[in-house]
Amino acid sequence: MTYNASDLDRGIYPGNSSSLRSDAASMEHIIHAAEFHGLDSSILHEANVYYSKSS
Protein backbone atom coordinates (compact mmCIF):
# COMPACT_ATOMS: atom_id res chain seq x y z
CA MET A 1 0.00 0.00 0.00
CA THR A 2 2.90 2.38 0.49
CA TYR A 3 3.52 2.51 -3.26
CA ASN A 4 -0.10 3.66 -3.72
CA ALA A 5 0.36 6.38 -1.12
CA SER A 6 3.51 7.69 -2.76
CA ASP A 7 1.77 7.79 -6.17
CA LEU A 8 -1.12 9.74 -4.68
CA ASP A 9 1.25 12.15 -2.95
CA ARG A 10 2.87 12.88 -6.33
CA GLY A 11 -0.51 13.38 -8.03
CA ILE A 12 -0.39 10.09 -9.90
CA TYR A 13 -3.71 8.25 -9.92
CA PRO A 14 -3.22 4.79 -11.40
CA GLY A 15 -6.19 2.75 -12.42
CA ASN A 16 -7.49 4.74 -15.37
CA SER A 17 -7.65 1.70 -17.63
CA SER A 18 -9.30 -0.28 -14.86
CA SER A 19 -12.05 2.30 -14.77
CA LEU A 20 -12.53 2.05 -18.54
CA ARG A 21 -12.71 -1.74 -18.33
CA SER A 22 -15.37 -1.38 -15.66
CA ASP A 23 -17.29 1.06 -17.87
CA ALA A 24 -17.10 -1.34 -20.80
CA ALA A 25 -18.41 -4.19 -18.66
CA SER A 26 -21.26 -1.99 -17.47
CA MET A 27 -22.10 -1.05 -21.05
CA GLU A 28 -22.19 -4.75 -22.00
CA HIS A 29 -24.66 -5.38 -19.20
CA ILE A 30 -26.85 -2.45 -20.31
CA ILE A 31 -26.78 -3.70 -23.92
CA HIS A 32 -27.85 -7.19 -22.89
CA ALA A 33 -30.61 -5.82 -20.68
CA ALA A 34 -31.87 -3.55 -23.47
CA GLU A 35 -31.90 -6.40 -25.97
CA PHE A 36 -33.64 -8.69 -23.49
CA HIS A 37 -36.44 -6.13 -23.27
CA GLY A 38 -36.61 -5.75 -27.04
CA LEU A 39 -35.07 -2.29 -27.19
CA ASP A 40 -32.89 -1.03 -30.03
CA SER A 41 -29.32 -1.17 -28.75
CA SER A 42 -27.51 -0.16 -31.95
CA ILE A 43 -26.31 3.18 -30.54
CA LEU A 44 -25.20 1.45 -27.34
CA HIS A 45 -23.16 -1.01 -29.42
CA GLU A 46 -21.45 1.90 -31.19
CA ALA A 47 -20.67 3.61 -27.88
CA ASN A 48 -19.27 0.36 -26.52
CA VAL A 49 -16.78 0.22 -29.41
CA TYR A 50 -15.09 3.31 -27.94
CA TYR A 51 -15.04 1.84 -24.43
CA SER A 52 -13.57 -1.41 -25.75
CA LYS A 53 -10.85 0.36 -27.74
CA SER A 54 -9.94 2.53 -24.78
CA SER A 55 -9.57 -0.23 -22.22
Q: Give 5-22 as a DSSP string.
A: HHHHHTT----HHHHHHH
Model pTM greater than 0.85?
A: no
Q: Where are the domains of the chain?
A: 15-54
The rounded radius of gyration (Å) of the Cα atoms in the chain is 16
Instruction: Between 8 and 45, name the one with better pLDDT.
Output: 45
CA dist., res. 21 & res. 9, Å (int): 25
Quick one: which of 52, 44, 49, 45 has its CA closest to 17? 52
pLDDT digits (tens, 9 = 90+) for 1-37: 566 677 778 887 766 556 777 888 888 999 999 999 9
